[in-house]
Structure 1
Amino acid sequence: MSSLTRWNPFKPLARFDAPSEFDDLFRAFPLRSAWRDFELQPDIRIDVSEDTGSYRVKAEMPGVDKNDIELSIDGNQVTIGAEIKRDVERKDGETELYAERYYGKARRMFSLPGEVDGSKAEARYDKGVLSITLPKKANGQSRKIAIS
């Protein structure tokens, strides 16, 4: 019996996915923990929106203590950093078989379209999401100047 697959024009055809295939290969490799050292740190995923007076940033940072988060603003440049700590509590005789969660330092830098008034910025951390409100810096009102 043959099975038919419905064609979806928005889904690419199945192909060899090299990073995934190599990752599967190294999952079975006995020195998997050594391979982990070569992996890149995870991204801090962000959403940025704006209204007439401010920019709003939401950054996913699950498992991070709010005291381990650093936030800095310089003009229109925003830097978010965090130290992700790993709780290692093993019972006697317990051996770790596989460790995939990242721990260490993570950092994200990005620029906004306009400058920010850092003195009025606000940040709140709740349920693994850092919410930042960044008021736009007043660049002055445009005005028509009479030429004499």
Structure 2
Amino acid sequence: MALMRFDPFRQLDRLGEQVLAGNRAMRTMPMEAFRRGDEFVIELDLPGVDPNDVELTVERNVVNIRVTRRPARQEGDEVIVDERPAGEFSRQLFLGDNLDSGKLEARFDRGVLTITIPVSEASKPRKVEIGAPREQQQSIDTGSRRHETANA
């Protein structure tokens, strides 16, 4: 026995996309984003996309991803079913100020685009040394001046 899940709202969305865009809706790329230690990792699923058809640009704190996916069929082929999206896809990611977009790295492996962005040095936690209270610091400074004057 197989359990199949039917989502009427998703089916309605698909129907709307087909009607409004002639079955060629510009869809977003499924994405997963997470923090691993001192870097953020973003993975986008791009099945059937040639790595040469992926364009990745960074401008200030905005990452733009543009992908072209070409259909597998050739001219003269008889199309029986066409549910695989083809065309141009794009996605914009807005990075926080705590990330170092200048050190962004990207790689493409088995249909997955992985973008790695390190946390900026200024945003990493750092230990702050705790000093003495001001009155105590002033008396230490005054005492050391007296000591320097007496030695001179």
Structure 2 length-normalised TM = 0.62
Residue 38 (structure 1) shift: 5.9
Mapped contact 1:63–1:84 kept (Cα < 8 A)? yes
Check 1:75–1:115 CA distance in 2 against 1; reply closer, same or farther (3 A cut): farther
Match for residue 78 of structure 1 among 63, 66, 83: 63
Within a 5 Å distance, the mapping from 1:1-148 to structure 2 comes to 17=8, 20=11, 37=22, 39-89=24-74, 94-139=77-122
Check 1:89–1:114 CA distance in 2 against 1; reply closer, same or farther (3 A cut): same
RMSD (Å), alpha carbons:
3.6
* Alpha-carbon distance between aligned partners in 1 of 2:38 and 2:97, rounded to the nearest angstrom: 11
Residue 108 (structure 1) shift: 0.8
* Alpha-carbon distance between aligned partners in 2 of 1:38 and 1:102, rounded to the nearest angstrom: 8
Q: Which moved more, 1:64-73 or 1:94-103?
A: 94-103
Q: Write the deviation string for residues 33-83 of structure 1: whole angstroms up to 9, x where unpaired.
A: x87526531211111111442111111011111111111223332221101
Mapped contact 2:24–2:86 kept (Cα < 8 A)? no
More helix by share: 2
Aligned to 1:4: none
* Alpha-carbon distance between aligned partners in 2 of 1:86 and 1:39, rounded to the nearest angstrom: 11
Gap runs ≥5 in structure 1: 1-10, 27-31
Give the residue type in structure 2 aligned to 1:122: E
| SS of residue in 1 equivalent to 2:43 | strand
Check 1:22–1:124 CA distance in 2 against 1; reply closer, same or farther (3 A cut): closer
* Alpha-carbon distance between aligned partners in 2 of 1:133 and 1:23, rounded to the nearest angstrom: 32
Gap runs ≥5 in structure 2: 135-152
Structure 1 length-normalised TM = 0.63
Q: Write the deviation string for residues 81-131 of structure 1: whole angstroms up to 9, x where unpaired.
A: 10111232366xx52233221111100112233343233221111111011
Residue 132 (structure 1) shift: 1.1
* Alpha-carbon distance between aligned partners in 2 of 1:66 and 1:75, rounded to the nearest angstrom: 24
Give the residue type in structure 2 aligned to 1:62: P
* Alpha-carbon distance between aligned partners in 2 of 1:22 and 1:125, rounded to the nearest angstrom: 30
Check 1:118–1:81 CA distance in 2 against 1; reply closer, same or farther (3 A cut): same
Rg larger for: 2
* Alpha-carbon distance between aligned partners in 2 of 1:107 and 1:23, rounded to the nearest angstrom: 19
Aligned residue-pair number: 126
